[in-house]
Amino acid sequence: MTYRARGRAWDVLTAIIIFNLAGFILLAFKSSPIDDQALHMAIFTSAVYVISYIIMISFFKQCDKYITLLIFALSSIGFIMLYRLDAQTAIRQVQWFMLGISAFFVILILSRYMRGLDRYFYIYAVVSVALLLLPMLIGTIRGGAKNWIEVGGYTVQPSEFVKLLFILATASILKEKRSMKELLPLMAFAAICMGILVLENDLGTMVIYFAVFVIMLYVATSNIIYVLGSLITAGAVGYVAYLTLGHVRTRVEAWLNPWADATDRGYQIVQSLIAIGSGGWLGSGLGLGQPYIIPAAKTDFIFAAIAEEFGILIAVAIIAMYFILIYRGMKMALSANDPFNALIAIGAAATLGFQTFVIIGGVIKLIPLTGVTLPFVSYGGSSMVASFMLVGIMQSTVIQPKPSGEVYEKEIIGERYSESY
């Protein structure tokens, strides 16, 4: 690593910190008397960023620090927007962020000691299906979708975490050239997962699982027939769903012409578009718009809220940041040393990328709306932690585990980097 490169990353971090401080300070001085809590948030989140970054570059040198910086930038916009909408939500989001980044580091540490993660397809599959079934058994209905369970007073969305296992399971099978017959268990597993998600009415997540599955299948097999077959099946299933499931049809109709029923079915999308139109290139200014008018502004529609107050240019920049995140994730796949790791990096990058596309596309009416979160920005503990875990397994693909039996206790974390990377 050259000095220049190191310097540039620090510059990026400095820019993010300045943005973060400026946002919270502005919010602090907007209210009278001055909102001390916003100032505390400014300092605290900035400190979290700096400390996390130092841990990153000290102990996980071979990982891509720019991905971490992108996550900081995105989460900072999220924190500021959430604080502006509701201070308590933002504080909880910071807690989720800390939990998430801890999980991220834990995964990086564990990956040094874990080998043979590609041997447990059936364990991943069984655990995945079990977790996905939980909400049906003990779940609560939220926003029309029955995909939540309650754990110790918190609601958890298992399908967020199963993304991780889904990628591991798929990569475990696809790491080698397989015959059609050998692929059947994987196909069955994927179909069961998606079936459960449909039953739980979690269509957005289902679409993400499907896209990630098809992408991994294509990358591993180069077989365009699998891709076309999957797409045709999906098209047929989607059409049948449109014809038979009332809520699917409602969504499609609300997408085709939200103005026909702007106060009811088209309400969310109409309010989202109006918010985007009301903001202008540079936005109404932080705290000067009325993003609280947008339904679900803290979760699904946070992108519209950001577009209103930060402006179209920042909104475009956010889309670009997600793309860079995916680009760097895929680059890790290109430098991976075995198919399993490459597939994991692709799977994780594709999940984050497709999820971003699905929700932003829905919010701007490019595609029908399905409620999923905008990774690292939307409020939500499950989403924040699971997104960090995805980036964790993505980044762990460049860490080579020690040969088993050679783990010395005295060896401190991070010593291995001087070796051959």
- In the complex, the residues that contact other proteins under the rule CB under 8 A are 215, 218-220, 222, 262-263, 270-271, 273-274, 276-278, 280-281, 284-285, 288-290, 293, 307, 312, 315-316, 319-320, 322-323, 326-327, 330, 333-334, 338-339, 342-343, 346, 350, 353, 357, 360-361, 364-366
CB of 260 to other proteins, least distance (A): 12
Nearer to other proteins, 169 or 326 (CB): 326
To 10 degrees, what angle do helices 3-30 and 65-85 make?
0
Question: What is the spatial distance between Cα 376 and Cα 25, in angstroms, rounded to a whole number?
Answer: 21
Question: What is the spatial distance between Cα 186 and Cα 201, in angstroms, rounded to a whole number?
Answer: 23
CB of 101 to other proteins, least distance (A): 25
Q: Which residues of 366-403 are buried (b: 16+ CB within 10 A; e: fewer)?
A: eebbbbbbbbbbbbbbbbbbbbbbbbbbbbbbbbbeee
CB of 356 to other proteins, least distance (A): 8
Structure tokens at 101: 């980044």
CB of 280 to other proteins, least distance (A): 6
Q: Which residues pair with 134 in a beta bridge?
A: none
Cα angle 97, 100, 105; round to 5: 125
Residues 6+ apart with CB under 8 A from 253: 260, 261, 265
CB of 64 to other proteins, least distance (A): 15
Report which residue type is found at 305: A
Number of neighbours of residue 208 by Cβ within 10 angstroms:
27
CB of 174 to other proteins, least distance (A): 9
Nearer to other proteins, 274 or 413 (CB): 274
CB of 114 to other proteins, least distance (A): 21
Nearer to other proteins, 232 or 366 (CB): 366
Question: What is the spatial distance between Cα 55 and Cα 163, in angstroms, rounded to a whole number?
Answer: 26
Nearer to other proteins, 16 or 215 (CB): 215
CB of 279 to other proteins, least distance (A): 8
CB of 350 to other proteins, least distance (A): 7
Helix ranges, 31-138 (H): 36-59, 65-85, 87-113, 121-138
Nearer to other proteins, 201 or 365 (CB): 365
Instruction: Give CB contacts under 8 A, 24+ apart, made by 281-284.
Output: 281/311, 281/312, 281/313, 282/311, 282/313, 283/307, 283/308, 283/309, 283/310, 283/311, 283/312, 283/314, 284/308, 284/309
Phi, psi of 148 (to 5 degrees): -120, 150
Nearer to other proteins, 146 or 265 (CB): 265
Nearer to other proteins, 289 or 371 (CB): 289
Q: In the β-sheet with 145-151, what is the strand arrangement from edge to edge?
A: 140-142, 145-151, 154-156
Contact between 396 and 108 (Cβ < 8 Å):
yes
Nearer to other proteins, 190 or 315 (CB): 315
**Taken in order 102, 77, 397, 182, is the CA torsion positive or negative?**
positive
- 340 burial via Cβ count (<10 Å: 0-12, 13-18, 19+): buried
Nearer to other proteins, 45 or 341 (CB): 341
CB of 216 to other proteins, least distance (A): 9
Nearer to other proteins, 16 or 350 (CB): 350
